[in-house]
A and B are shown apart, each in its own frame.
Chain A
Amino acid sequence: MATAPAPVTVAGTVAMTRRRRLARTARRVGYYLLVILVCAVTFSPIYWMIVTTIRPVTANLRFPPQLWPTAIDLSAFRALFDHEPIEQWIWNSTLLSLMATLICVVLAVLGAYTLSSMRWRGRGAFAIFLLMTQMLPEALIIVPIFKIYRDLGLRESLPGLSLIDAAFVLPIGVWILKNMFDTIPKEVQEAARVDGAGPFRVLFQIVLPLTLPGLVAVGVVAFFYTWNEFLFAQSMIGDDGLKPASVGLASMISMLDTPIERLLAAGLIFAIPPVIFYVVMQRYVIAGITAGAVKG
């Protein structure tokens, strides 16, 4: 009686563990399939862009297309630089974005400091004012902005364009920095003040050095908001020599004879800088865009 059930139990346990292990493996495989699905949905358009750009033309102009490259041909990039003024576009975009970034960073530091470190009547109203401007669609004021720019002679000018771009990205800049400033313990600033430091010394010697990543994040967001911006650029700039890359690229769409791999090569060059910077600065940027309302 006592000995008989023992082997049965052992065999049963072995069978059970095997079945359980199999179920666990199946679940893990299923889980990884889900992960792969998510990544595929996210990445496949970018993958396709890269594949189309780096393979020979003949591979692109056939249906059904092969889903992976079998030969590498980078001549699209050479043709791009030979046939389109892409250096000019990139240079214009860089200048434009630098100007907007400068304006945005300077003003955002002031705004974030007064929102984060000071208590004053009207602070809440100021915050709401910033939020409302952040919500405003650019297209709703394109008509009056266009008329104002025309009357002031600010059209066909990159500095003029950078002014309006900065106005739209500024609120996000303030939120990103305010979030960062809020992470500094109040006591640190208090202590400096007790030691006789004025508010600007506190800002420049204590707050800003501690929140450098936030400052960089604001720079990144402002730079690439302007870099990507299309509506204002398209409406204000008609001169070929002043076109920023977003407008230049869009103008390539309507040129029907542009080969697809050249078009996509241009798009890729334009997209790589923001993607790299955003991947690095992701954490700070997300918090700013959701206006710090998402806790944790």
Chain B
Amino acid sequence: MTTRAETMTATAVDRALEGQRRRRLPWLLPYLLALPIIAYEGVFILYPIYQGLRSSFFRQQIGMPEEWAGLANYERLLGDTAFWGVMGTTIIYMVAVIAAAIGVGLGSALVLNRAFRGRTLARAMMTMPWSFPDVPTVLVFLWILNPSFGVINVFARLLPWIEENPTWLLDPRLAFVSVVGITAWKGFPFYSLVILAALQTVPSELLEAAKIDGASPRQAFFAVTLPAISPTLLLLTVLAAIFSFKQFTLIWLLTGGGPSGATETIVVRIYSTAFRFYDFSYAAALGVAGFLLALTVSLVFLAVQRRQDMEAG
């Protein structure tokens, strides 16, 4: 009897709560909350994307009205050797930055993943490069790489085959290496901190067990640590691809894409086509090409993330 009464009261309470909840949370509310963001991003991101796509089918010269050009801009794009060169540079730059930044990030995370005196200070230091704004970063590296007074020459001269100061940003190969190095310097501490967080979740019992079984530190790393952090590494790789693809300010202010196109990625090319040569419709077509590349990378990111979410449950 009591149990039944209790059940009844429970259901009644449940029903009352349900009704209340329904009244309190109208089904429309989540949409109303999301709407301002969708509208805002629609106006400032989606509409410009549409406009860019549209103007890539037009031809525009300064002071003249737009005229329909069909696929002319794209035909020009496909036959443009400079465009293919830029695409190649973009991809090599992305790969080089990913390898350098994630590699150094992993190495430094492994070093810092121990209790030692001054750990907090080291972590604070790791935050500095990626919070250091782009423009001051350019300023200091232009000074460090200065052919007459740059401090890097002191160290470069230690190499036996270097007898005079290299012209870092004027030599195509050195300029590319420098730009990659600077981008990686700004990026690696971020990856390092994320990897550090992931390392802390590696179960210590597993590492203990490996040690007891007589595994060397190296074996333990490859058998236990690396598999445990590989989802994070994969995610960071894609993230690094996106970040390096977006990189404009560092390259533009360090080299402007030069010398002779050695550091010219697609975003730099778009900017100079538009604002140096005022060829807006061709810049729009370049933008669409870049957009397709960005979309591919983003979709890979989504796929990676989704798989990890599923694995995490």
What residues make up the interface of A, taking CB atoms closer than 8 Å to B? 31-32, 34-35, 38-39, 41-43, 45-46, 48-49, 52, 60-65, 67, 103, 107, 110-111, 113-114, 118-120, 122-123, 126, 128-133, 135-148, 163-164, 166-168, 170-171, 174, 193-194, 196-199, 224, 227-228, 230-231, 235, 246, 249-250, 253, 260, 263-264, 266-268, 270-271, 274-275, 277-279, 282, 286, 289-291, 293-296
- Please, which residue of chain B has its CB at the minimum distance from the CB of A163? B44
Give the chain B neighbours of A52 by CB distance below 8 A: 143
Among B37, B38, B189, B305, contact of A42 (Cβ-Cβ < 8 Å): B189
Give the chain A neighbours of B24 by CB distance below 8 A: 193, 197-199
Q: Contact check, A279 vs B124: say whether CB atoms are below 8 A apart.
A: yes
Q: Contact check, B34 vs A147: say whether CB atoms are below 8 A apart.
A: no
Instruction: Report the interface size class on chain B.
Output: 35 or more
In the assembled complex, the CB of A64 is this many whole angstroms from the nearest CB of chain B, namely: 5
- Please, which residue of chain B has its CB at the minimum distance from the CB of A111? B37
A163 to B39, CA, bound (A): 13
Among A163, A271, A296, contact of B132 (Cβ-Cβ < 8 Å): A271
Question: What 1/0 mask marks residues of chain B from 189 to 208 whose CB sits below 8 Å from any chain A CB?
Answer: 11001100110110000000
Give the chain A neighbours of B151 by CB distance below 8 A: 48, 65, 67
Q: Contact check, A279 vs B128: say whether CB atoms are below 8 A apart.
A: yes
Among B52, B137, B249, B290, contact of A231 (Cβ-Cβ < 8 Å): B249
- Mostly, the B contact residues are helix
Is B1 close to A, CB under 8 A?
no
Q: Contact check, B116 vs A136: say whether CB atoms are below 8 A apart.
A: no
A131 to B297, CA, bound (A): 12
B72-80, B169-177, B279-287: which lies at the interface = B279-287
Is B55 close to A, CB under 8 A?
yes
Q: Contact check, A296 vs B201: say whether CB atoms are below 8 A apart.
A: yes
Q: Contact check, B55 vs A137: say whether CB atoms are below 8 A apart.
A: no
Give the chain B neighbours of A131 by CB distance below 8 A: 298, 301-302
Residue pairs across A and B with Cβ atoms less than 8 A apart, 12 shown, are: A34-B111, A35-B111, A42-B189, A62-B149, A64-B153, A120-B27, A143-B280, A170-B37, A249-B139, A253-B253, A264-B143, A289-B239
B2-10, B81-89, B219-227, B266-274: which lies at the interface = B266-274
Give the chain B neighbours of A144 by CB distance below 8 A: 48-49, 51-52, 55, 284, 287
A246 to B250, CA, bound (A): 12
A243 to B193, CA, bound (A): 34
Question: Among the interface residues A129, A164, A291, which one has the most CB atoms of the partner chain B within 10 A?
Answer: A129
Q: Contact check, A43 vs B128: say whether CB atoms are below 8 A apart.
A: yes
In the assembled complex, the CB of A203 is this many whole angstroms from the nearest CB of chain B, namely: 9
Give the chain A neighbours of B157 by CB distance below 8 A: 64
Q: Contact check, A38 vs B112: say whether CB atoms are below 8 A apart.
A: yes
Interface residues of B in 6-22 (CB under 8 A from A): 17, 20-21
